[in-house]
Amino acid sequence: MRILLKFVIDCDPDAAWRALHSPRAVAELYGPLLEVEALGEMPTSFASGDDVPVQMSVAGLLPVGRQLISVADRETTDEHGRVRVFRDWGVPLTGPLSVLDVWDHQMAVSEAPGEPGRTLWRERLTIGGAAAPAMWPALWATWQWRALRIKALAPTWAHDPEADAD
């Protein structure tokens, strides 16, 4: 089963790509309802090959499960140019999502066609297992929330410290 998102956000693709690799930016997508914290040391930036176990909780108080974030980056092209893909193919370890047999979350960023300085954001979550049909509605609703949060937070991702230093 899949959940798909596709929309344009107000930041350039480089800023969106940095945000995808920022544990802090990723955690902000779920806030303030869900809190994401590392079980161990959280990297300052996710890198391809990372395996980071995290604990998710409601407002930092009620644990809802642990998940392994496994990162793989790749780059491709489409008819509009460069597309960078961040893949989290980790697995839910405990909690309600651990009943799923498949978890494959891919987020792709590229320049929005005809909109320089803006990003086309594409996202696909693939889930599988006997419980997937029962879990799909709640995950679909969560992904709609994510889309709203991404759109709201994207303009804050555009800050470029290197440009400030010049």
Domain boundaries, the chain: 2-158
For residue 37, the model assigns a pLDDT of: 87
Classified as helix, coil or strand, 27 is helix
H-helix or E-strand spanning residue 109: strand 102-111
Tell me the two tokens of residue 81: 């140019």
Dump pLDDT digits (tens) for 53-96. Answer: 999 988 878 888 999 999 999 999 988 889 999 999 888 999 98
2-158: in CATH 3.90.230.10: no
Which residue(s) pair with 120 in the sheet?
8, 110
Find how far residue 2's CA is from the centre of its chain: 15
Find how far residue 40's CA is from the centre of its chain: 20
Average pLDDT over residues 20-43: 87
Tell me: cis bond preceding 32? Omega within 30 of 0 counts.
Answer: yes
